[in-house]
A = this chain, B = another copy of it.
Amino acid sequence: MFAGLDLGGTKIQAVLVDVEGKVVSQCRHATPQQGGPQVIIEELFATLQEVTRMVNLEPSALAGVGVGAPGAVDPVAGVLLQAGNLPGWHGPHPLAEILSKKAKVPVFLGNDVQVAVMAEARLGAGRSYRSMLGVWWGTGVGGGIYLDGRRWTGRGAAGEIGHIVVRRGGAKCSCGRRGCMEAYAGRGAMELKARKAVARGEKTRLFELMESQGKDRLTSGVWMKALKQEDGLAERLIARAVRMLGAGIASAVNLLDVEAVIIGGGLGTRLGEPYVERIIQAMHPHLFVSQRPPDVRLSALGELSGAIGAALLSEPPAAGTSSHRSSRSVKGEV
């Protein structure tokens, strides 16, 4: 049995999976907003204890624990270097080592988007394809590339599809550059744009909905609700995001000619199939080989893809499953 912990800015999602990747228990805790790394690691441990207790085990009885974290990761050292989205996490902290000592079990660390894409590639919507591009649509737009059944990492930073330039000289991106796909499609960028529109006097229900749900930012749920209520600004910003996702993903397909594109991430998962269909339509005018588009599919593991992917960091391959690789290469890659 293996545990996976998906560490996010607001919640920690835990799963236990068996050797075949089947989820046998799951639970969710809130991410502590005060106290920094020490308190966050304490809460990771508490979540791990709860998810193992659900099947009457102790963490030390597990074969391994994987953690997917939002930020720059040194997977070999198990150090979370930077994590802008985690309250109070400034600079490197040896997350894996500390958690491993508490739980008395090996702990592996990976980037949250990378492990989620890996889960989809091995067990989810991508599992029947030899080549795929994962597009994780959330606060930013992350990605992952699988070619010939193996993850392509380049010199360590491949997959940054959010920073494909879709409009040279265009909107300012959170990365400091201009015209990136993420500057139009990222939930963070869309929120900034919405706040500016409101400051100009434009009408929208986005921020009322945010407050009524007790949030301090425009979550995927808030966007979803605003779209259901046919809020004009929400519809306009999402339509713009979809257009830019279409152009950027098509560019990547023209370059790589992959068999499949998997759409995931908080916003991708929440908006679901109808928006996958809209992304397909937005890609079409830009596909060089438009008569043979790639399959574009929604993440199959949904909100659990990150936690399941984290569990895979410590999981040996299931026998006879060709899409599973050796646990050594999985650890080395992420």
Contacts and interface: CB of A to CB of B under 8 A. Distances in A.
A286 B292 CA distance: 30
A255 B158 contact: yes
B153 A244 contact: no
Contacts of A292: 155
A197 interface: no
Interface residues of A, number: 43
Interface in A243-264: 243-244, 247-248, 250-252, 254-259
A221 B150 CA distance: 44
Interface string A183-223: 00000000000000000000000000000000000000000
Contacts of A42: none
Interface stretch (A27-35, A82-90, A172-180): A172-180
Given A255-B255, A258-B154, A285 B147 contact: no
B161 A255 contact: yes
Interface string A142-162: 010101000011111111110
A250 B180 CA distance: 11
A157 B257 CA distance: 6
B243 A160 contact: no
A305 interface: no
B247 A160 contact: no
A47 B164 CA distance: 44
B289 A157 contact: yes
Interface string A117-150: 0000000000000010000000000010101000
A156 B158 CA distance: 22
A256 B285 CA distance: 23
A286 B177 contact: yes
A121 to B, nearest CB: 16
